Amino acid sequence: MIVTLTPNPSIDRTVALTGPLVRGTVHRTASAFAQAGGKGVNISRACLAAGIATTAVLPAAADDPFVHDLEAAGIAHRLVTPDGPVRVNLTVSEPDGTTTKLNSPGAVASPATLEALAATLHSLAAEADWVVLAGSLPPGAPVDWYADVVADLRTLTKVAVDTSDEPLVALVDRLGHDTAPHLMKPNGDELASFTGGDAAKLESDPYAAAAAARTLVDRGVTDVLATLGGHGAVLVTAEGAWHATPPPTEVVSTVGAGDSSLFGYLLGVLRGQDPAHRLALAVAYGSAAAGLPGTTIPQPAQARPDLVVVRALHSPMENQR
């Protein structure tokens, strides 16, 4: 089972335009829809589609429309009492696949809510193959809250983290062989945020991305899956490094592609696949998601790892040069 945490969930509204976005003008929309979202919820949706047991943990009231959407989708969930309504995020999608996101901050989290979320995860950890901590922290949460939760859970089960900005930096600052998560999934911008490197170079150069990811492995992270947008992804472990090139994809929306990549990787782990095949499955899921509108999560048949090209990079020692 994969348990997911979404500490700052959102109702994701997606508007697809008929042409490029131009500030200060009136636009016609091709379509618009909304669904319960957040990175952890997206991963739970992918689990459900693939037949993997999952429980989504989040702060929300039982009568919130967000929860009604989870129930309609068949997503098992554990709720804690929220400090306010679920936020609404807006994504504007252009015909060429360019997406513009307007994310609201969410309710200020109280210590009681954060304690309840951590306690719920602790209670579920013994039953879980993985616990995934995903997305932004709500206002009011200490920036090192994820680091505290990882330290509590990592002796009970395997822990994956996908976050950014200050919570990511705080997590990296606390890394050690007894405190690190088993899996981290940064992108190019996120790698740059704690290495000081150039984000564009990290995204376009798999060797540079692998070297940056290696710094996390050296500090105790077991696997680092670095997603690089249209340049694919890099996987770094203590045993080596690999780069995967995605198949040709007509990009519709990149929202949720990283979440799908993370799920694809976890699916490969659950299937007992070797690192190269896990990476191929991650990139296949991410590419499939990029070809779908809004935050639509791909079905397993839409992910084509057989079309992903994977090559080994340098040996672990060479990656550090």
> DSSP readout, 12-48?
EEEEEESS---TTS---EEEEEEEEE-HHHHHHHHHH
Using DSSP bridges, classify how beta strands 99-102 and 87-93 pair: parallel, antiparallel or unpaired: antiparallel
DSSP secondary structure of 294-321: TTPPPPGGG--GGG-EEEE-S-HHHHT-
Return the pLDDT at 91: 87
Q: How far apart are CA 284 and CA 246, in angstroms?
A: 7
For residue range 259-310, what is the model confidence (pLDDT) as tens digits?
999 999 999 999 999 999 999 999 999 999 988 876 788 999 999 999 999 9
Whether residue 212 is predicted with pLDDT greater than 60 in this model: the reply is yes
pLDDT in tens, 89-115: 998 988 887 889 899 999 999 999 999
Q: What is the DSSP string of 83-118?
A: SSPPEEEEEEE-TTS-EEEE----PPPPHHHHHHHH
Q: Which domains does the chain have, with CATH numbers?
A: 2-21+31-319 (3.40.1190.20)
Confidence of residue 37 (pLDDT cuts 50, 70, 90): confident
Sheet holding 10-17, edge to edge: 29-37, 10-17, 87-93, 99-102
pLDDT of residue 261: 97
**What number is the average pLDDT over the span 217-223?**
97
Grade residue 39 by pLDDT with cuts at 50, 70 and 90: very high
pLDDT at 62: 95
- Examine the pLDDT at 315 and tell me if it is beyond 80: no
Residues in the chain: 321
**Average per-residue pLDDT for the chain:** 93
Which tens digit of pLDDT belongs to each residue from 131-176? 999 999 999 999 999 999 999 999 999 999 999 999 999 999 999 9
Torsions phi, psi of 234, nearest 5?
-120, 140
Q: Is the pLDDT of residue 245 over 90?
A: yes
* Cα 183 from Cα 197, distance rounded (Å): 21
Catalytic residues: 259
Q: Is the pLDDT of residue 318 over 60?
A: no
- The two three-digit tokens of residue 199, written as one number: 């984000």
Structure-model confidence comparison of residues 301 and 254, the more confident one: 301
Contact 78, 70 (CB under 8 A): no
Instruction: Give the CA angle between residues 279, 285, 288 to the nearest 5°.
Output: 140
* 257's tokens: 């592609």
